[in-house]
Structure 1
Amino acid sequence: MDLSIIIPNFNGKKLLENNLPKVLEAGKDCEIIIVDDASTDGSVEFLKKEFPQIKVLQTSYHPELVYSENSLELFRDSGSSSNKGFSASVNLGVSHAKSDFVFLLNSDCYPEKGSIEKVIKLFEDRNLFAVGFAQKNLEDGKTVIRGRALGKFEKGFFVHSYGSPDKTTTQWVGGGAGVFKKSLWDRLGGMDEIYNPFYWEDIDLSYRALKSGYSIRFVPDAYVVHEQSKGTIRSHYSDSYIKSISYRNQILFVWLNISDPYLLLSHFFYYPYEVIKSWVRLVWYVVSRRKNKIRSSSDLSFIKADIASELKFFLALGKRFQRKKMWKKKDKECFVKN
């Protein structure tokens, strides 16, 4: 099969022990690449001993991959300072892939037998960039089917939600359970590392593809099993850190991609409004000594995201200028609302 399976890893030894044999079974004859991002749990040693047939790349051996974070270090959390981030890890893996198609898979996932074949055959469509799998998420002892996404622009920001898993349209193909055409990946420039350490990079890549005139699809009956509650991000980073990164990247997404004048006007009205509102509420909680930890934590996370995104404003503008050369569709043509 002309497919390279790429699995980014950070301290996911236990997940790999459980899932890698299932990946090997489902992806027979596929090239498998694991990109280790400065793990400290013995992941690399385990892989080299137990799975010598698998190609293991280490971001620490690639000094060109620079940890992308702001100088104020507002987001420094429990992750290692030598981490390069999800986008950098995936891009490194794709650059070493020998196949025409790359299957990005999280370490807490494995594909069900026969699902890969269902996805690959769709790439007879030369304009197709990526295909997403349905994800069987194991949550509180129940299996919930997800993977299809919807998107819209609301109150100055691009917001996303889960879509009904019985349709073939989707707003984006997830970077933890999707197959991508490598030639178009290279043409689009891969995942943008401005989003490091994680979140929104796959939404951004899919949106760039849609806006550049390519198509993406979702396959309701091609499954990966996703034990998300045990994943790397939730296991190694605090909720406030994750929320700050998500807010920051949501802001950067608009600056990088949105060109509709009305939507931009909406953004530059609501964005300052949300910043001011967060500051006012946070000060009020402090002065009045009210104990609403959830609300105050959310406000603080948004304030951190505001500062961090502003530090990347000119970098985002430069990237936006380069992206404009490939834009063929209007923003409203790219939204998948139902």
Structure 2
Amino acid sequence: MTTPAATIVVPTRGGSRRLPVLLRSLEAQDTDDFEVIVVVDGDIDGTADLVAEWAQRLPVRSLVFPENRGRAVALNAGAESARGDLLIRSDDDLEPGPGLVSGHLARHRNATEPIGVVGLTTNQYPDSPFARAYGRAADRRFLDDALGLPADRTWRLWAANVSVQAQVHARLGGYDARYRRYGWEDVDFGYRLRQAGIPVLVAPEVMAVHHGASTTTAVRALRALHSGAARETFVEIHGDLALPDAPGGRGLWDRLVGAGAAVATERTLRAYGPAVDAAARVLPPRIAEKLVALGVESAGLAGVRYPDRARSRF
């Protein structure tokens, strides 16, 4: 059996409805010099059977955990089982173009030193009050900011569509399994790349469409709550100086966000979100955007200040 140049590692939980879009995109790649490992983090919906069906059309196999162990553990298991020299990490809800694998490979082959590559993602939203009031504009701002980041800050972009040599992944010890809330195991890995002196390059040519974007204010705010809580794990591990942009300020908006954070819990956010989405149908766009932003930023700050409020598991 020929050893592939790249291994695509896909962590998933409850992904049987999302994965076909990704797998069809991987079937259409302009190179076949890769394999796919889907790491099923507790099979709750027949994902392993789906992967077995796709194995007749694509070089894909699954690793199945008997129970939920977290995304970091899933990513590390995929890396340990990989045969490719390059590890491409992909979330299960992405739709990459046909040049995803060849683009990541080219970036690394053209580098004179070990690097990390970030492909970025663009969110695809259904038409909704949240998307119109906040989601699409926030994504445009994020993409503009990401493409303009200086080289010493691109590590913050490490996320759903990235690649690194397998030997670099092993040298860093993989992803940190202490992250069990939403996100930040990625940021942690990007930070450790930077600390190791490994440049993180942004590659717009391998950008992928993300189909799992938040579609309501409640979902976006709940993710912000959990992300804020996971941020504190990062600070505990690496210290306050690793993230100099501490949340909170003294302006009127900062005070409003602080007041919102004081009462933001999973329960209150689930009530606030639908109310804002309903109001966004009739309010002026600028006001609707501010109301969504208030909920999201308050939730994020609440996660930082009161991490125990993030009770769900992702």
Range into which the TM-score falls when normalised by the shorter chain: 0.5 to 0.7
SS of equivalent to 1:172: helix
Q: Where does residue 25 of structure 1 map in the other structure?
A: 28
Q: 1:140 to 1:192 in 2, by over 3 A?
A: same
Which residue of structure 1 lines up, in the alignment, with residue 268 of structure 2?
Answer: none
Q: Which residue in the other structure is 1:116 paired with? A: 101
Instruction: Count residues with an aligned counterpart.
Output: 263
- In the alignment, is the contact (CA less than 8 A) between 1:137 and 1:145 conserved in 2? no
> Can you give the 5+ residue segments of structure 2 that lack an aligned partner in the other structure?
250-254, 265-271, 277-290, 309-314
Residues 282 and 55 from structure 1, CA distance in 2 versus in 1: closer, same or farther, beyond 3 angstroms? closer
Query: Which residue of the partner structure matches residue 136 of structure 1?
Result: 122
Q: With structure 1 as the length reference, what TM-score do the two structures score?
A: 0.63
- Equivalent residue, structure 1, for 2:288: none
Kept in 2: contact 1:35–1:89 (CA 8 A): yes
* SS of equivalent residue, structure 1 residue 13: coil
Q: SS at 2:32's partner residue?
A: coil
1:221 positional shift: 2.2
Q: Distance in 1 between matches of 2:229 and 2:172?
A: 22
Q: Does 1:243 align with 2:228?
A: no
Is the Cα–Cα contact under 8 Å of residues 168 and 217 in structure 1 kept in the other structure? no
- What is the Cα deviation at residue 216 of structure 1? 0.9
Q: Does 1:204 align with 2:207?
A: no
Map Cα deviations across residues 107-153 of structure 1 (whole Å, 9 max, x no partner): 11132122432321222435333101142332346997999998xxx
Q: Deviations over 1:214-261 (max 9, x none)?
A: 11101122222221337xxx89x9556533321111122223224749
Q: 1:106 and 1:282, CA in 2 relative to 1: closer, same or farther beyond 3 A?
A: closer
The answer for unaligned runs of 5 or more in structure 1 is 61-81, 151-160, 284-290, 310-338
Tell me whether 1:252 sits opposite 2:252 in the alignment.
Answer: no
- Is the contact between residue 148 and residue 164 of structure 1 (CA under 8 Å) also seen in structure 2? no
Deviations along 1:240-294, one digit per CA (max 9) or x if unpaired, are 653332111112222322474995xx96999xxx9xx6699449xxxxxxx9998
Alignment of 1:93-242 (within 5 A): 93-124=78-109, 125-140=111-126, 163-165=145-147, 169=151, 170-229=154-213, 241-242=222-223
Kindly provide the CA deviation profile for residues 37-58 of structure 1, in whole angstroms up to 9, marking residues without a partner as x: 1132211122223425421101
Bigger Cα displacement from structure 2, 171-180 vs 210-219? 171-180
What CA distance in whole angstroms lies between the structure 1 residues aligned with 2:126 and 2:223? 21
Does the 8 A contact of 1:148 with 1:171 survive in 2? no
Cα RMSD over matched residues?
4.3
The answer to whether the 8 Å contact 1:87/1:195 transfers is yes
Q: Is contact 1:23-1:111 (8 Å) kept?
A: yes
2:281: which partner in 1?
A: none
Distance 2:116 2:178 in 1: 21
